[in-house]
Amino acid sequence: MSGKNWLLHTPRFPDNLSWSILELKNLFDKQGEHCEIIDINHKIYKKFFNTQHWENIDNFGVMIRSPIPVFKIIRLILRELRCVKNNHRVLINVFSTESRSWCELICSIIKMHIGCKIYIGGNGVYSPGEGEYESEWANYLLNLKLVDAVFLNQADVTLKQAIQNDFNVSGKIYRHSAEFPSLGFLPKHLVEDPIKDQRVYDSTYIREDIDHPAMQGELLDIEWAPKIHFSLGCVKQCTFCDIPILQNWITRPVDDVINEFRHYVTTTGRRYYFLGDSTINGSTSAWMRLLQGMYKLQQELGPIYWNSQIAVKPANRTSEEEFELMNKTNFHASPGMDHVSDKVLHHMRKKYTWEDVLYYIDMYAKHNVWIRDCLWLVGYPTETEDDFAEYTKLIDRLDNKKHTFVSNIVNVTYINRNSPLLELVDIDWNDPNRWTCDNSTPEVRLQRKRILDDEFARIGKLKYKHKDTYKRALR
């Protein structure tokens, strides 16, 4: 293949190498093609962290609405790209919609000063609510000729084919399949961070008071650990969520997951892992097989600490054995419990009620299942003051009863394109966070978030800083 290949790790925060970047690097390596990573995220962190500009950069990226030193950022980016030539190829993973402004700026710099081909992909290519083959933002970049091709879905196939065809591709490249992507099993040299001791972390993310052997004095939110997948998509159809639109529900064979755990433990010695699943327990039977497999693996290899999002289900669709196995396999849950009002849960199309939430809280406590973080929502379009007031029963529960909840995240409800909630709200897609309805305004939603944040902070169970509002609440 002519020319070099570069993977740009664009700002996404915190100062970590993204696992998806490493997956892409591994795809190139397996094809016998040289590819290097340029970690622009780290350079932005090193340059601006703990300066007067950091809060604006952290909150708004490079958007014009805040006084960010764009020219200094451009000079930094050009310095990092000095090895890139016009016959090379640059690949950019757009992590989220928040990272689009960084991608657009970097693409503009490359096209103006270098002129090489640019290829992008990632979840941020989609607007919330767009389907698998949609991407208005990708069309916008293609029309401006800021990018040469956009990869949508299953990079394990589409990127492999592009590499084999010497990147003679253009426009949108996508593939839809019910097969689980062939990713993972990274070699040891990719799993080890070469500049671990040089990275910069915000001390507000470090919890030294956690009495747990895996995490005491470590980074609660940004532990750099191998990422393993068991499922993609989601079986639920919650009104506020676009995951089922973007990705059909697929589960991976349990034996593959267990073998990948074994691979990383035996080659790297690491003991803490993240599973990027949206609902790891979407299939109760498959989830139980995974728990049983993890129990057997840890009898063989010793303790393995693993974390994933997990869905609440009606109590009659689970069992006490499930929670026993979570404890025995050192599973750290990140449950999305969403709300405490039965009316709002019903409107969200949840299949469970507050009584089921109580059951999960009680089972986690009874079996000492460590809750790494728990997600709650405020500002749903039908949420009234009375609905929000019901959160007092949750605070009382967590404040006065033994439980294993380490931290909680309060998110403000956002609205996706194609969401059924569009019938209830007025929204301007130029500023979609500021939607309004009869029950809510942006100010009301943020005030409710602040109230709940304050309550969690009072009992020592708040995950993020108070000044983080929409940035942490929205994708």
SS (H, E, C) 256-287: HHHHHHHHHHHHHCCCEEEECCCCCCCCHHHH
3-class secondary-structure state, position 56: helix
Q: What is the spatial distance between Cα 247 and Cα 176, in angstroms, rounded to a whole number?
A: 9
| Residue numbers of the chain with a pLDDT score lower than 50 | 205-209, 214, 216-222, 465-475
Query: Hey, what are 330's tokens?
Result: 């050192």
What pTM value is reported for the model?
Answer: 0.90
Q: What is the spatial distance between Cα 126 and Cα 55, in angstroms, rounded to a whole number?
A: 26
Each residue's pLDDT tens digit, 334-356: 999 999 999 999 999 999 999 99
Beta bridge partners, 37, equal: 7
Query: Hey, what are 172's tokens?
Result: 């949108």
Q: What is the spatial distance between Cα 316 and Cα 155, in angstroms, rounded to a whole number?
A: 39
Q: What is the spatial distance between Cα 234 and Cα 205, in angstroms, rounded to a whole number?
A: 29
Element (H, E) at 190: helix 188-191
Please tell me the predicted confidence (pLDDT) of residue 395.
92
Domain residue extents for the chain: 5-174, 201-473
3-class secondary-structure state, position 89: strand
Asked: is 201-473 a CATH 3.90.1200.10 domain? The reply is: no
Please tell me the predicted confidence (pLDDT) of residue 475.
27
CATH architecture label of 5-174: 3-Layer(aba) Sandwich (3.40)
Total residues belonging to the chain: 475
Please tell me the predicted confidence (pLDDT) of residue 39.
96
**pLDDT > 90: what percent of the chain?**
61
Query: Hey, what are 50's tokens?
Result: 């703990």
C-alpha radius of gyration, the chain, whole number: 22
Please tell me the predicted confidence (pLDDT) of residue 470.
34
